[in-house]
């Protein structure tokens, strides 16, 4: 049965590429990038041969970072692999164990898993010392890959109840606060070591991480090379136990997702609300209605809530990265925080606007039948962008203030935070305009009612969307040249001017983007409906 799942995934990938030159080229680029990453990883491990105990410490760090990145990177950026959506098999007579084994085998087929396996296989060359450690290294790599695949499948299912429940939002926020606190604690610990003590820091960090499952797999290779065969066997047994536990959790969660698919669709109750209309009364009726709808969806609908959670996590990661990696500015070097703030504003907008129609899915029909002209679509886009502004503005301001407090002393004084806020708001407005255009020019379907709220596009489209986002970010930076000139020309002393100018420039850019997208979208609405009105392949 696992072989049938693998063949089905290969068929879906091939079918997604057939007749679409854009997807084919993107797939070729992805394969080339995977080959380069696999070669670099294998070579990097091979160069560790002969490094002694330092090789084992580096191996522990790399194995742990690889597993952690595999678990969280899809949530942050590229989304998880949903080429074989488990919800498609809900009506088939499959046991959860059979479906879990087949889907796990299918998850191992792809550019990223194969490239990761080749990269980690370099540990067979670089971390082994003697013939007995070679089979141990092979087993350690296999267990680590299995661990990563299971984490990538289990984590979205674990997050789904949190994202579906209304109180789950509070739990998620509390969890993110704990994560940020842990990173701050780690940053404080790292700051205790000077640049000359980086080796001591690596050894200390590896000493903790070798007790994590991926670290235990890497440490088992070093233990065999040092003659500690019993310790190596115990570590591999512990990793195998964790893999078995994750496999059991994956099977149980998958069984619940399959048997409970759509069970809650009919249990929704409609609660009476006020009769005074939707949204602020000073807005046009459709704009106000869309504003109210998008705000409710962002808090209640799992997929949109997942987008907001992804944005918050990305901003938290960037903030922690700026705290850990400090840049001392000397002389006439431009302040690196200015492009950082523009990137933060761009990420905030592009993450939430680049596929507006795709998020609606089959419900896009309700938008289409009420859209008679570009004016109607302009009101639709205006309400959606206003909702995103309400959601993202507090996040941007919080990031700006926290970043200004940790920046260079000259940026902390008085109106320094205003300069950063102006750049962030300008980038946010520019990206709103570019993102809504991207929604019209490159819409893509998402899995309908997927068990995974972090699910991305169908087969062959993931890299296309990623390249389009990179192109959009480049366009935003080109359009942001006036913001850069104002920020560097006026400086922190005139931060209020940059704040007002950046906000106005961003608002004008967003308005222009809405006007262009509305005119183009009104003509392309039937084509957009054909693309996103059915589930992703």
Measured between alpha carbons, how far is 355 from 438 in angstroms, rounded to an integer?
7
Dihedral Cα 408, 413, 418, 420, nearest 10 deg: 0
Dihedral Cα 288, 289, 294, 300, nearest 10 deg: 130
Note the pLDDT of residue 244: 92
Measured between alpha carbons, how far is 325 from 321 in angstroms, rounded to an integer?
6
Any residues with CB less than 8 A from the CB of 183 and at least 6 apart, and which? Answer: 316, 320, 323, 324
Note the pLDDT of residue 240: 93
**Which of 189, 51, 63 has its CA nearest to residue 119?**
63
**Which of 502, 496, 438 has its CA nearest to residue 471?**
438
Note the pLDDT of residue 508: 93
Any residues with CB less than 8 A from the CB of 105 and at least 6 apart, and which? Answer: 2, 3, 5, 6
Beta bridge partners of 455: 80
Which parts of 165-266 fold into alpha helices (H)? 168-191, 198-209, 213-225, 229-259
- Using an 8 Å Cβ cutoff, are 333 and 410 in contact? no
Dihedral sign (CA 160, 166, 169, 170): negative
**Which stretches of the chain drop beneath a pLDDT of 70?**
16-17, 19-20, 22, 52, 73-91, 159-202, 257-282, 320-336, 406-415, 447-464, 533-537
Residue with tokens 């690196």: 336
- Using an 8 Å Cβ cutoff, are 435 and 350 in contact? yes
Residue with tokens 């507090």: 394
Residue 420's Cα: distance from chain center in Å? 24
**Which of 383, 394, 349 has its CA nearest to residue 518?**
383
- Start-to-end C-alpha separation, the chain: 21
Note the pLDDT of residue 430: 92
Measured between alpha carbons, how far is 85 from 168 in angstroms, rounded to an integer?
24
Angle CA(150)–CA(154)–CA(155) in degrees, nearest 5? 115
Q: At what angle do helices 133-164 and 229-259 cross, to 10 degrees?
A: 30
Note the pLDDT of residue 305: 74
């Amino acid at each position: 049965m696992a072989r049938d799942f693998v063949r089905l995934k290969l068929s879906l990938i091939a079918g997604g590429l057939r007749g679409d030159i854009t997807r084919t080229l993107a797939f070729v680029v992805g394969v080339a990038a995977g080959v380069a990453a696999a070669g670099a990883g294998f070579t990097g491990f091979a160069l560790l041969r002969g490094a002694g105990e330092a090789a084992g410490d580096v191996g522990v760090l790399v194995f742990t970072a690889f597993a952690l990145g595999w678990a969280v990177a899809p949530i942050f950026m590229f989304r998880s692999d949903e080429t074989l959506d488990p919800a498609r098999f809900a009506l088939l007579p499959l046991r959860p164990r059979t479906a879990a084994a087949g889907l796990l085998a299918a998850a191992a087929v792809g550019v990223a898993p194969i490239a990761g396996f080749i990269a980690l296989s370099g540990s067979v060359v670089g971390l082994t010392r003697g013939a007995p450690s070679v089979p141990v290294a092979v087993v350690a790599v296999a267990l680590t890959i299995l661990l990563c695949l299971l984490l990538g499948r289990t984590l979205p299912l674990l997050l789904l109840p949190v994202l579906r429940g209304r109180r789950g939002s509070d739990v998620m926020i509390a969890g993110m606060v704990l994560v940020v606190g842990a990173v701050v604690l780690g940053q404080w610990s790292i700051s205790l070591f000077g640049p000359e003590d980086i080796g001591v820091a690596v050894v200390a960090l590896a000493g903790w991480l070798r007790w994590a499952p991926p670290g235990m797999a890497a440490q088992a290779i070093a233990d065999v090379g040092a003659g500690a065969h019993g310790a190596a066997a115990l570590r591999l047994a512990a990793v195998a136990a964790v893999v078995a536990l994750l496999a059991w959790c994956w099977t149980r969660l998958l069984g619940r997702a399959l048997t409970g698919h759509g069970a809650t669709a009919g249990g929704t109750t409609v609660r009476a609300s006020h009769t005074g209309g939707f949204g602020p009364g000073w807005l046009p009726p459709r704009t106000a209605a869309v504003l109210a709808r998008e705000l409710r969806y962002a808090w209640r609908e799992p997929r949109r809530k997942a987008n907001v959670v992804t944005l918050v996590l990305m901003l938290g990661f960037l903030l922690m990265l700026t705290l850990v990696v400090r840049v001392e500015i000397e002389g006439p070097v431009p302040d690196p925080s200015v492009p950082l703030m523009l990137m933060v504003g761009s990420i905030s907008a592009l993450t939430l606007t680049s596929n507006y129609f795709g998020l609606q899915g089959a419900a896009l029909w309700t938008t289409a039948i009420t859209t008679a002209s570009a004016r109607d679509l302009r009101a639709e886009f205006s309400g959606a962008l206003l909702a995103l502004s309400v959601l993202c503005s507090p996040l941007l301001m919080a990031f700006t203030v926290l970043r200004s407090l940790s920046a260079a002393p000259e940026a902390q004084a008085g109106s320094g935070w205003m300069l950063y806020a102006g750049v962030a708001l300008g980038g946010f407005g520019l990206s709103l305009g570019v993102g809504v255009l991207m929604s019209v020019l490159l819409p893509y379907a998402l899995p309908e009612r997927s068990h995974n709220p972090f699910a991305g596009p169908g087969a062959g489209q993931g890299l296309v969307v990623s390249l389009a986002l990179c192109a959009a970010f480049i366009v935003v930076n080109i359009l942001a040249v006036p913001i850069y000139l104002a920020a560097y020309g006026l400086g922190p002393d005139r931060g209020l001017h940059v704040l007002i100018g950046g906000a106005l420039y961003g608002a004008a850019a967003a308005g222009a983007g809405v006007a262009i997208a509305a005119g183009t979208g009104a003509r392309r609405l039937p084509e957009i409906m054909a693309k996103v009105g059915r589930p992703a392949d």
